[in-house]
């Protein structure tokens, strides 16, 4: 793995927005930025050579212009470029596994071309072993800075499953940006409660308090390692997907987890992650969740508040 931020670039407004966001992330992490353009050839008929040369020239021009612009906007940022042929989802997944972070453009709900949710982004998000961030064109400016939303970073947490990698990524990102973290766990009463919950509303309050306690316990060691990060926790009754989408409206970044076991065909991406990817105006980071290894949480990044 190389210490770098990688972005998929196809010339669309969304991929250009992703490149801008990725450049800011690379600056925060103090690592190089890599721009990757994938030429996805049709199986048949064979592409005529003159047309192939035109596509190659356009790709080279795109990479050159974008790398020059990002270097100008971020003096001192190392920017590398790469152009390759193949199936975009496979190439970008491999690139994601080799980087600290992969960034892709997304048009959210209704997109049908380019690096959009459902065509290229979803296979990458569902397969990559490293975190992947999807950026919409209108959400590109939601990075650290005077114009960024001030509600910080929103993180969806399921206290019933291991989420150490999610917590590590979230606290590190908040420390780099010097913004607060908001952790949300949504819940509904089990069907076994039946009419008891109607007769005694306190049952729901008791369950909510227990879940909030579990969430606070998860966060306690990370707060100790990142004393400069303000982290709040809420256990909210209702649909997790709805609550996360609502919370994303004023967020700088939204972070959700993805369990790593793969299905016999394709990969697993839960309905909450699907909803957030389609409807969040803010960039969305999807973090693969792994079983806990007993490792000590990493220290706060140098210079974090």
CB 180 within 8 Å of CB 232: yes
Phi-psi region of 143 (alpha: psi -120 to 50; beta: other; left: phi over 0): beta
- Output the CA–CA distances (angstroms, integers) from residue 185 to 61, 283, 287, 302, in the order listed: 46, 20, 16, 30
pLDDT of residue 121: 85
CA atoms within 13 A on the CB side of 92: 34
pLDDT of residue 85: 86
pLDDT of residue 28: 96
Kindly give the confidence (pLDDT) of every residue in the chain, 305 residues in length, as a single tens digit, with 9 standing for 90 and above. 579 999 999 988 999 999 999 999 999 999 999 999 998 765 444 555 555 567 778 889 999 999 999 999 999 999 999 998 888 999 999 999 999 999 999 875 433 333 445 578 888 999 999 999 999 887 556 555 445 556 799 999 998 888 999 999 999 999 999 999 999 998 776 555 544 444 445 555 677 788 899 999 999 999 999 999 999 999 988 888 899 999 998 899 999 999 865 554 555 678 888 889 888 999 999 999 875 444 445 555 543 33
- E strand segments, the chain: 5-8, 33-39, 79-85, 101-105, 132-135, 153-156, 181-187, 231-237, 253-259, 284-289
DSSP assignment string, 18-65 = HHHHHHHHHHHHT--EEEEEEE---SSSPPPHHHHHHHHHHHHHHHHH
The residue among 162, 91, 173 whose CA lies nearest residue 127 is 91
pLDDT of residue 234: 93
pLDDT of residue 237: 85
The residue among 303, 287, 32, 24 whose CA lies nearest residue 176 is 303
């Amino acid at each position: 793995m190389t210490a770098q931020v990688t972005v998929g670039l196809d010339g669309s407004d969304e991929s250009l927005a992703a490149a801008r966001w990725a450049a800011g992330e690379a600056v925060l992490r103090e690592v190089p930025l890599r721009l990757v353009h994938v030429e996805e050839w049709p199986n048949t008929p064979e592409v005529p050579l003159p047309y192939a040369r035109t596509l190659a020239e356009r790709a080279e021009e795109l990479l050159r212009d974008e790398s020059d612009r990002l270097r100008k906007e971020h003096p001192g940022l190392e920017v590398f470029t790469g152009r390759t042929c193949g199936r975009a989802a496979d190439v970008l997944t491999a690139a994601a596994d080799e980087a600290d972070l992969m960034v892709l453009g997304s048009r959210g709900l209704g997109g049908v071309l380019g690096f959009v949710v459902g065509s290229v982004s979803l296979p990458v998000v569902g397969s990559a072993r490293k975190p992947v961030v999807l950026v919409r064109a209108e959400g590109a400016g939601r990075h650290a800075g005077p114009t960024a939303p001030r509600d910080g970073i929103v993180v969806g947490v399921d206290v019933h499953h291991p989420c150490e990698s999610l917590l590590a990524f979230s606290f590190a990102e908040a420390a780099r940006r010097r913004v607060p973290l908001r952790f949300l766990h949504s819940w509904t009463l089990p069907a076994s409660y039946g009419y008891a919950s109607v007769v005694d509303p306190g049952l729901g309050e008791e369950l909510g308090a227990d879940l909030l306690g579990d969430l606070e316990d998860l966060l306690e060691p990370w707060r100790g390692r990142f004393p400069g990060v303000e982290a709040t926790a809420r256990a909210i009754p209702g649909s997790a997907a709805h609550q996360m989408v609502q919370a994303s409206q004023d967020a700088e970044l939204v972070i959700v987890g993805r369990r790593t076991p793969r299905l016999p065909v394709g990969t697993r991406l839960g309905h909450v992650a699907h909803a957030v990817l389609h409807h969040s105006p803010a960039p969305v980071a999807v973090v693969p969740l792994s079983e806990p290894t007993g490792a000590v949480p990493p220290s706060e990044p140098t210079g974090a508040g």
